[in-house]
Structures are given as structure tokens and as C-alpha cells.
């Protein structure tokens, strides 16, 4: 496939952002759109925090902390530390540089600007030329039902409780009344291929696919729709995906991931370290999917684009 | 007057905070209440900023920047500087440590907690034992009508335009519907003396006196009601008081200040460097009113208390 084709990438946070970076190094700005999960977004001290959007934005702009894969490089937490003077004990790390993003975004949201417009404005100011889109402008929230603590908000599960509680089930509050934005719809309808990043299928991709009409819009597109596994050698590359799969009674394999996506995909990339039983109606390819540095990201992105290009 | 008597102090920012500190070093916690101007409060990047309350709070807690007289000592502006990445040019300095105050206060305000309760909570957490009260829980705003820019918000006049525009008149938006709080009412009714700090009479004290019923509540108290001049040797100790007096066609003298307060006061302290024509029904005293260090603040506070004590 020539790079003149339009690629739409669906991602969550750190893992997906790596592939986004790889693709952005190859594809010209008008040919790559990144649709980002917002079901992890939450309010903290009156600020609207969008962890996945910020991770992608910081990654593409080069601001990201290269060790964590999220947050701003060499950021400090003077404001957060000062909250302790008031007896507060903030459990979500907000860096001082990072706070500027949350302050401005929250201020604009409260002024009536849509999240889509805000993301466009902020990412443009950071020098990002490719298009970043939140999956929806609506406020939705992944809720995690746990054995130990009952149902809690995602960030409480993920950060405050360090994904230790046992997951019984997940639901996305507010998703029924969320709307697919015109921008998301147009980009999917205009895509020549859809790529689902190596993000958590349950926590990051499922919310995107659950935006009303979004899944159907994808399914109507007779184009390559390819997912990359986030599970390698029985482990998640990052985060709680493997642990949640176990708790939901699923085998921690790329096979499970591919089957979870079902008809949404017609292509699946799994890691060369793993095996895959043949899937019906799904092209498969094994690659080295681990992205440690910039070279890995570009290599994987290029291999994916080359493979998808061969289909057509 | 014995220190067992209840003192209520009305103040604005830096100058008044100095006297508040002096009094707080002498009077036990339950004997001093500081009522603070809130007409300078404003919204900035979605945060509610209360400059005078914070100045008093930081001064009494020892957090204050000793050079500026406001803000937190050795504070940085990493968040503010990071806003510039997004093309913003914030004109109001918000330090990183200081931001914790604004974040928490705004969050509590949006959660429905009254400013009075918030100030009590924050000042208690900072170790302040004396009572700080906002003049009202209502949102009011000093508006400055200027020759050059028309009517602008106070902080825009004061900070953004460095009090350069020529003042034609002042008004306090929303003051008609503001309510005196139960706490302010109770403290004034329970006071054995009222002291008006060396704050800007037009910008800091007039808003307090304009809270509906507050002035009448003061006037009904047959107790010492003593103001301290903020004008010494034809100059304001700090800020635009002298400039505004000139622009309003007033002589820049303590006499003008005393006459501006009129029947609200029955006692007036002017500086020993100045002269005062005798005022009807107003006891007067000249003192060294300049407070450079902690010793000065305590000395002036003690001299005032001693003098007021002689009346009764």
C-alpha cells in the first residue's frame, strides 16, 4: 500500500502511543488520524484529566517522559506536594508542567469548547501535525466492578489501587448517550485501513468500539481492519491486560485477543514469539511487536503498512 | 484595653496583612477576627483566585514571600511557564505552590462549600489559629472605569495593566445582592473594637463596608472603630492608593482618608511624619505607621491596642 492511503489508528495510552509515533514518522500529516480512548478520563481536584489523549499528545510532541511513557519529561510535582499542606493526599500524579494541559483543557471545556476542538488546538500548539481525535466529546467513564471494593472508577482501580483488586466485569458509564463525532465518522468513512493499536482490548479499545454507531461504521468499511496484539508470551506488554484476562476467565494469549475483536478485524498481527490457531476470515502475520526504541516503532509501523499494502 | 477584648480587623492585602500579623502575635486566637476584602477575587484559567485572602493566609502562616509580601516564599512558575507552550500568555502570576491553594479552593467551591468554610479549613490546615473571614460568600467584583480602556475588571487594571490607566470611578459588581455572613455579623456584634487596617480605602475597605447591612452593623456598635492611614508623606505605602486619589481629584493626605471613612470611624491613626487638621468626633493619634519588619508590626499593633484600651 502506498503511503498516500488514509490510515486511522485506534489507541489507548502508552502502547498505542508508541505505534502512533512509528506511523507518524512514516505517514504525512493528512494521512494519519489517531482516535483515542477517553473512557479513562476523570475529574481530579476540579480538573478534567485525559490520560490517554495526553500520553499520545506528549509522545507525538516529544514532551513525554521516556521512562514512564506518560507525563512530561523531567516534570516536578510542586503543586501536588503543596496540596499536602492542606491535609490532602492526592493519589494521581499531576506534574507541574502537565498541570498546564489540565488547567487549559478544563478551562476551555468549561467555556463550552468541545474536547475535539481542544485536542486539535493543544496538539497543534505542541507542533503535532497529524490529527488526534477523542473517540467522543461526551463524558463517559469506565467502571470496574471488583470483588474486593465493589464498583469503582477506572482511575481509582488503576492508579489509586494499582490494579490490585480482582475484576469481575467492566462497563462504560454514559456510553449509550455518547455520540460519534462528525470528525470520527468522516475519518473512518474516509479510511483506506483501520489499525487497532497494541492497547488493552477491554479497557482501551472496547470503549472506542462501544461509541454508538462507531462499530457499525467500521464494519461497513470493506478495507483492512488490522489489530496488533498487546499480549506477548502470555504477558501484557504493559498494564493490567493479562491480569484482567485471567480474572475474566480467559486464556492470556493473542488468540483470545483476536477472538475478542471478532468481526471487527479482518487482519491480526501477533508476536513472533507466539503461536496462533488459524482464524476464519482473518489474515494474520507474526512480527516482532515489541517496541523498545524509536527504531522499533518505525520498523513495526512500516512492516504493518507494507503487509496491509499487499492486500490491495 | 486588656487583651481579653475582642478585636475585629478589616483588611485588604499586603499592608493589612502586616498589621494582622502584628495583632496575631499579641492577641490570643479567640480574640482576633480578620475580615478580608474579596472584591479583588477573580477567575483565571478556571481557578478562583482570592488575592487578599491568600496574602493574609500566607502572611499569618509564615509561607509568604517576604520580598513581595504576597505569594509563597521561593515559589516557582513551572505550570504557568508551560502554558506558553499552548500559545497562552498568562498575565497573572500563579506560583506552583500557590496553585495548590487555588486548585483546592476552586474544587471545594464547585463542590458547594462556602468560601467562609473553605477559608476556615485552609487556614486551619496551615496552622493559623486566629479567625479569617471573607467579607461575604457572594461573588462580587470591583470594576474600574478608566479613561484609556473603559471599564475593566480590577485585576486586569491592577496586574495586567499595572495600574497605569487613569481611574474615573469604581463600582462593585454584585454587591447589592451580596449577603453579610452569619460569621461576619456575629463577630462585629461581639467586637470590643474594630480596626481598619492600612489598606486601600477605596479598593480594599470600601468593598467590605459596602456589603449590605455591614456598615450599619458597624455603626450600631458604640465601641472604638479605628482606622490606620495607608497614606504617609503624600504617598501610598503600597499600591495605587495615592494615584487613584489624585485621579479622583482628592488630596493625597491622611486627612482625606479619615474624611472618606467619615462616621464609620471614631478613631484615626496617622503617621508621625504627617499633620492632621482636627476631626469632629474622631480621636486621633500619630504613630510611626511604617511596618518594615516583624518588630514594627508588633509595635504598631501594641501601640494601637494600648491607645484603644485607654478609651474605655
% of chain B residues with pLDDT over 90: 91
Binning pLDDT at 50, 70 and 90, where does residue A51 land? very high
Does residue A289 contact residue A229 with C-beta atoms inside 8 Å? yes
Q: Is the pLDDT of residue B233 over 90?
A: yes
Which pLDDT value is given to residue B289? Answer: 95
Q: Is the pLDDT of residue A3 over 80?
A: no
The residue-averaged pLDDT of A26-52 equals: 97
Burial of A277 (0-12, 13-18, 19+ CB in 10 A): exposed
> What's chain A's length in residues?
312
Q: Does residue B297 sit within a domain?
A: yes
Find cell 495605587 and name the residue. Answer: B240
Binning pLDDT at 50, 70 and 90, where does residue B3 land? low
Within 204-233 of A, beta carbons closer than 8 Å to B belong to none
Binning pLDDT at 50, 70 and 90, where does residue A278 land? confident
Q: Where are the beta strands (DSSP E) in chain B?
A: 7-11, 32-36, 42-44, 47-49, 131-134, 141-146, 150-153, 167-173, 193-196, 225-228, 231-232, 235-236, 267-271, 283-287
pLDDT tens profile B197-228: 999 999 999 999 999 999 999 999 999 999 99
What is d(CA B312, CA B308) in angstroms, rounded to the nearest whole number?
7
Q: Does residue A266 sit within a domain?
A: yes
Which pLDDT value is given to residue B237? Answer: 82
Q: Is A78 on the interface with B (CB under 8 A)?
A: yes
* HSE value, Cβ hemisphere, 13 Å, CA-based, for A99: 31
Distant-in-sequence contacts of B216-222, Cβ < 8 A, 24+ apart = B217/B180, B217/B185, B217/B188, B217/B189, B218/B188, B218/B194, B218/B264, B219/B263, B219/B264, B221/B188, B221/B189, B221/B191, B221/B194
Given B88, B101, B122, which is nearest A104 (Cβ)? B88
The residue-averaged pLDDT of B114-122 equals: 98
Q: Is A87 on the interface with B (CB under 8 A)?
A: yes
Helix (H) or strand (E) holding A44: strand A42-44
Does residue B75 contact residue B64 with C-beta atoms inside 8 Å? no
Which pLDDT value is given to residue A312? Answer: 67
For helices B14-26 and B294-311, angle between their N-to-C axes, nearest 10 degrees: 70
Give the contacts of B281 (CB within 8 A, at least 6 positions apart).
B263, B266
Q: Does residue B46 sit within a domain?
A: yes
Does residue B35 contact residue B12 with C-beta atoms inside 8 Å? no
Given B97, B106, B125, which is nearest A87 (Cβ)? B125
Residue contact B96–A96, C-beta within 8 A: yes
% of chain B residues with pLDDT over 70: 99
Given B76, B85, B125, which is nearest A85 (Cβ)? B125
> For B43, which residue in chain A has the nearest alpha carbon?
A107
* Nearest Cα residue to B13 out of B117, B118, B158, B145: B158
Which pLDDT value is given to residue B77? Answer: 97
Angle at alpha carbon of residue B180, lines to B176 and B182, rounded to 5°: 155
* Nearest Cα residue to A142 out of A48, A43, A40: A40
Q: What is the per-residue burial (b if ≥16 Cβ within 10 Å, else e) of A150-179?
A: eebbbbbbbbebebebebeebebeebeebe
Q: What is the number of domains present in chain A?
A: 1
C-alpha distances out from residue A117 to A123, A139, A191, Å:
10, 15, 21
Q: Does residue A94 sit within a domain?
A: yes
> For B76, which residue in chain A has the nearest alpha carbon?
A78
Taking one residue from A and the other from B, the number of pairs with CB-CB distance under 8 angstroms is: 85
Alpha helices in B140-247 (DSSP H): 154-155, 182-190, 206-210, 214-219, 241-247
What is d(CA B11, CA B125) in angstroms, rounded to the nearest whole number?
22
Which pLDDT value is given to residue A129? Answer: 97
pLDDT tens profile B247-258: 999 999 999 999
The residue-averaged pLDDT of A185-200 equals: 97
Phi, psi of B70 (to 5 degrees): -145, 165
Q: What is the per-residue burial (b if ≥16 Cβ within 10 Å, else e) of A86-114?
A: bebebebebbbbbbbbbbbbbbbbeeeee
Q: Which domain holds residue A141?
A: 7-311
Q: Does residue A2 sit within a domain?
A: no
pLDDT tens profile B135-183: 999 999 999 999 999 999 999 999 899 999 999 999 999 999 999 999 9
Average pLDDT across chain B, whole number: 95
Q: Is the pLDDT of residue B103 over 60?
A: yes
Q: Is the pLDDT of residue A288 over 90?
A: yes
The residue-averaged pLDDT of B288-295 equals: 94
Query: What CATH code is carried by the domain that includes residue B262?
Result: 3.40.50.10680
Provide the total of helices (H) and of strands (E) in chain B, helices listed first: 12, 14
Q: Among positive and negative, which fits the CA dihedral A210, A213, A219, A223?
A: negative
The residue-averaged pLDDT of A124-143 equals: 97
Binning pLDDT at 50, 70 and 90, where does residue A308 land? very high
Binning pLDDT at 50, 70 and 90, where does residue B116 land? very high
What is d(CA B62, CA B123) in angstroms, rounded to the nearest whole number?
11
Which pLDDT value is given to residue B1? Answer: 46
The residue-averaged pLDDT of A263-285 equals: 94
pLDDT tens profile B59-74: 999 999 999 999 999 9
Residue contact A78–B76, C-beta within 8 A: yes
Q: Does residue A1 sit within a domain?
A: no
Which pLDDT value is given to residue B143? Answer: 96
Q: Does residue A162 sit within a domain?
A: yes
| β-bridge partners, A172 | A142
What is d(CA A293, CA B140) in angstroms, rounded to the nearest whole number?
54
* Nearest Cα residue to B247 out of B164, B303, B158, B188: B164
Binning pLDDT at 50, 70 and 90, where does residue B280 land? confident
Which pLDDT value is given to residue A1? Answer: 46
Q: Is A96 on the interface with B (CB under 8 A)?
A: yes
Residue A9 has a CB neighbour count (10 Å cut-off) of 27
Which pLDDT value is given to residue A186? Answer: 98
Amino acid at each position: 500500500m502506498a503511503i498516500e492511503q488514509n490510515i486511522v489508528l485506534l489507541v489507548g495510552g502508552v502502547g498505542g502511543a508508541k505505534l502512533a509515533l512509528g506511523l507518524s514518522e512514516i505517514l504525512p500529516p493528512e494521512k494519519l488520524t489517531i482516535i483515542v480512548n477517553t473512557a479513562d478520563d476523570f475529574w481530579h481536584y476540579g480538573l478534567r484529566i485525559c490520560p490517554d489523549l495526553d500520553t499520545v499528545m506528549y509522545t507525538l510532541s516529544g514532551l513525554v517522559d521516556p521512562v514512564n511513557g506518560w507525563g512530561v519529561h523531567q516534570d516536578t510535582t510542586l503543586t501536588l506536594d503543596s496540596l499536602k499542606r492542606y491535609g490532602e493526599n492526592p493519589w494521581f500524579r499531576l506534574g507541574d508542567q502537565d498541570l498546564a494541559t489540565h488547567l487549559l483543557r478544563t478551562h476551555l471545556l468549561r467555556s463550552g469548547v468541545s474536547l475535539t476542538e481542544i485536542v486539535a488546538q493543544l496538539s497543534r500548539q505542541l507542533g503535532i501535525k497529524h490529527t488526534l481525535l477523542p473517540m467522543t466529546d461526551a463524558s463517559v467513564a469506565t467502571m470496574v466492578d471488583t470483588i474486593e471494593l465493589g464498583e469503582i472508577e477506572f482511575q481509582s482501580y488503576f492508579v489509586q489501587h494499582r490494579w490490585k483488586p480482582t475484576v469481575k466485569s467492566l462497563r462504560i458509564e454514559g456510553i449509550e448517550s455518547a455520540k460519534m463525532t462528525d470528525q470520527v465518522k468522516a475519518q473512518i468513512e474516509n479510511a483506506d485501513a483501520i489499525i487497532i493499536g497494541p492497547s488493552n482490548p477491554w479497557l482501551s479499545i472496547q470503549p472506542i468500539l462501544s461509541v454508538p454507531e462507531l462499530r457499525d461504521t467500521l464494519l461497513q468499511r470493506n478495507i483492512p481492519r488490522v489489530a496488533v496484539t498487546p499480549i506477548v508470551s502470555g504477558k501484557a506488554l504493559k498494564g493490567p491486560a493479562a491480569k484482567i484476562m485471567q480474572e475474566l476467565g480467559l486464556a492470556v494469549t493473542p488468540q483470545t485477543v483476536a477472538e475478542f475483536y471478532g468481526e471487527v478485524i479482518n487482519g491480526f498481527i501477533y508476536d513472533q514469539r507466539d503461536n496462533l490457531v488459524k482464524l476464519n476470515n482473518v489474515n494474520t502475520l507474526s512480527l516482532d511487536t515489541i517496541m523498545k526504541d524509536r527504531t522499533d516503532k518505525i520498523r513495526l509501523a512500516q512492516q504493518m503498512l507494507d503487509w496491509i499494502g499487499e492486500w490491495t
